Structure 1
Amino acid sequence: MKRGICVMANVLILGANGKIAQLAEQQLLSETKHHLTLFLRNASRLKVTDPSRETVIEGDATNQQALIKALDGIDIVYANLSGKNIEDQAKAVVGAIDRTNIQRLIWISTLGIYDEVPGKFGQWNHQQLDGGYLQTYAEAAKVIEGSDLDYTIIRPAWLSNKDIVSYETTQKGEPFKGTEVSRKSIADFVVKLINDPSQEIDHSVGVNQPNTDGDRPSWY
C-alpha cells in the first residue's frame, strides 16, 4: 500500500444505505474528490447527491459475481454490511477482492467480538448481543483477518445519532474503552482511512467517544 494522502480514489461502498455509510458518503462528497460506487440490495432506497461522482449498483453482497463486477476500476472497498449472514458476506467480499488487484478493505464490525469489553459494561454487552450476533460478527472478522488483504476492522461502541465527532481508539488485544460513540464519528474515521489508506493496515480498531465509561450507554 502506498504511503501518504490519497487525493482521488474510486471507492466502493458496500451496504451504502446504512446510516454510517450515508454519513461517510456525504463527508466524502463535501471534503474529497473521490468517486463513489454505491452498492446495495435496493437501489431505489438511495438518493444520489452528485451524479457526476456517484454510481449506484444494485446487488447482494453474498453474490460473488456481482461483487466482482462492482469492483471493476475500484481502489478501496469500504464494507458497511450487517445481518445474520455477515460471515457469508465476508467470504463473498474477500473471495471477490481476491480475484482483482485491489488490496485495501475497510470493514465495519462491532465491539465485543474478542471478549475485549471489560467490567460490568462487558457483561451487559454480552447480555445484549449474545445468542448469535457476536458470534457471527466474530466469525466474519476471522474471515477478514485470515485474508491477505490490507484490511482495517472497525469495532464501534454502541452507536448514537449525536451530532458530534469525538472519538478515541484501541487496538486488538487492548481493553475496549467507553460505552458509546456517534455514527458521525465512525464515518469520520472511515473517511480518514480512505484519505490515507496506509493507516491502520491489518489492525482491528475499537472506536469510542472519550469519557463515556460506565455500565451501559447513556440512553439505557
Structure 2
Amino acid sequence: MTNVLILGANGKIAHLAEEQLLSETDAHMKLFLRNASRLQVADSKRQTVIEGDVTDAETLKSALSGVDVVYANLSGSNIESQAKTVVAAMDAAGVKRLVWISTLGIYDEVPGKYGEWNHQMLDGGYLETYSAAAKVIEASDLDYTLIRPAWLSNKDIVDYEITQKGEPFKGTEVSRKSIADVVVKLIEDPTKEIRRSLGVNQPGTDGDKPSFY
C-alpha cells in the first residue's frame, strides 16, 4: 500500500488522478488544499483532507508524516516559493519521491511556429515562474519526475506519448485524463522516470497551435 500526499488536491488533473487511484490501486491519499470545504471525499477510509497552504512549512512537514510519494499539482505566481518549501519540507521529513506538474516550454524545447505561439501565450510571468520552480526541483536531491503537459483538453481519452528533457517537444495538446494516467503510473511504480523531465502530448496533434484555439 502506497501513501500519497497530493498537493493542490482540488485541481482538475488531481481530481482525475484521485479517481483513478481509487479505482485502480490500494493507495491511501492525503488531500492537501487551501480550502478543505471545496473538496468532497469519495472514500473516507482511503482519503484524508488536510487544509493548509503549501508555503506553510510546518503544516506541510506535518502532512508528510508516513508519506511515500508526493504528487504536486500546484499553480500560482508564487510557484517558485512553493517549490522551495516543498523541497525543504520533504528533505526535513525524509521523503524522497516527488511527481511535479510543470508546463511545456520551460526549456525552450517547443519547436517551430507552435513554439513561437506558446511563447506569445505564456511569456510575461507564466513560463518564467514555472521554469524557476523546475530549476528548484532539479537542483534538489529528491527523486523527482517533472511532467510537462502540452496544452490541456478535457477530452475523455487516454492517449499520449513522452519526450525526455533535451528532445524537441511533440504535438500541441493532451487530455487532462492522460496526464492523470501518467501520474498514477508513476505512483504505482515510483522507480520509473526518476530525476527526469517528461514532455507529454497526444500523438498526431502536431500543428501551429492546439485544435481548440
Deviations 1:79-102 (A, max 9, x none): 000010000000000010010121
Measure how far apart 1:28 and its partner are: 0.1
Structure 1 residue 79 corresponds to structure 2 residue 72: yes
Q: Which amino acid aligns with 2:104?
A: L
Question: Structure 2: how far apart are the matches of 1:61 and 1:135?
Answer: 20
Deviations 1:143-168 (A, max 9, x none): 00000000000000000000000000
The match for 1:144 is 137
Question: Structure 2: how far apart are the matches of 1:59 and 1:120?
Answer: 41
Of 150, 167, 174 in structure 2, the residue corresponding to residue 174 of structure 1 is 167
Q: Which amino acid aligns with 1:134?
A: L
Is the partner of 1:128 in helix, strand or coil?
helix
Of 77, 100, 107 in structure 2, the residue corresponding to residue 107 of structure 1 is 100
Question: Structure 2: how far apart are the matches of 1:113 and 1:190?
Answer: 19
The match for 1:5 is none
Deviations 1:109-143 (A, max 9, x none): 00000000000000000000000100000000000
Of 53, 56, 60 in structure 2, the residue corresponding to residue 60 of structure 1 is 53
Normalising by structure 2, what TM-score? 1.00
What pairs up with 1:118-157 in 2 under 5 angstroms?
118-157=111-150
Measure how far apart 1:32 and its partner are: 0.5
**What is the root-mean-square deviation of aligned Cα atoms in Å?**
0.4
How many residue pairs get matched? 213
Normalising by structure 1, what TM-score? 0.96
Q: Which amino acid aligns with 1:12?
A: L
Unaligned runs of 5+ in 2: none
Q: Which amino acid aligns with 2:93?
A: T
Unaligned runs of 5+ in 1: 1-7
What pairs up with 1:1-220 in 2 under 5 angstroms?
8-220=1-213
Q: Which amino acid aligns with 1:10?
A: N
| Identical columns (%) | 75
Q: Extract structure 1 runs of 4+ deviating beyond 2 A.
A: none
Measure how far apart 1:189 and its partner are: 0.4
Measure how far apart 1:104 and its partner are: 0.2
Question: Structure 2: how far apart are the matches of 1:95 and 1:102?
Answer: 10
Q: Which amino acid aligns with 2:68?
A: D
Question: Structure 2: how far apart are the matches of 1:112 and 1:138?
Answer: 8
